[in-house]
């Protein structure tokens, strides 16, 4: 499925992103291509909109932002991350 989505969606320019990669010693532009990831992410988001009530969807969105921030900050083994998604 991923290979097919990459081929079909990629041929239409889906999932082409320009971003800046930063490190402590350098910043550089990067082109990222994720056609299948983009299609699957949008499909999942739209499915959630169909099946979740408004309050649950808003809560899920706020928790997912906090969860992503924990991972970005390198806090995978933190108490909060473990409480949000126990192993």
Q: Global pTM?
A: 0.70
Q: Maximum Cα–Cα distance for the chain, whole Å?
A: 45
CA distances to 38, 58, 68, 84 from 61, rounded to whole Å, are 17, 5, 11, 13
pLDDT at 21: 62
Whether the CB-CB separation of 39 and 15 falls below 8 Å is answered with yes
Question: Of residues 55 and 33, which shows the higher confidence score?
Answer: 55
pLDDT at 18: 72
Is the pLDDT assigned to residue 56 strictly greater than 80? yes
Tokens matching residue 59: 């809560």
Read off the pLDDT of residues 58-80 as tens digits, 9 standing for 90 and up: 999 999 999 999 999 999 999 99
Q: How many CB atoms lie within 10 A of CB 62?
A: 10
User: How large is the average pLDDT for residues 16-28?
Assistant: 67
């Amino acid at each position: 499925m991923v290979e097919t989505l990459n081929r079909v969606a990629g041929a239409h320019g889906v999932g082409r992103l320009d971003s800046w990669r930063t490190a402590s010693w350098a910043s550089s532009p990067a082109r990222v291509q994720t056609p299948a990831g983009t299609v699957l992410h949008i499909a999942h988001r739209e499915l959630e909109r169909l099946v979740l009530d408004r309050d649950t969807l808003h809560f899920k969105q706020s928790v997912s932002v906090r969860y992503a921030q924990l991972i970005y900050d390198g806090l995978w083994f933190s108490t909060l991350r473990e409480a949000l998604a126990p192993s």
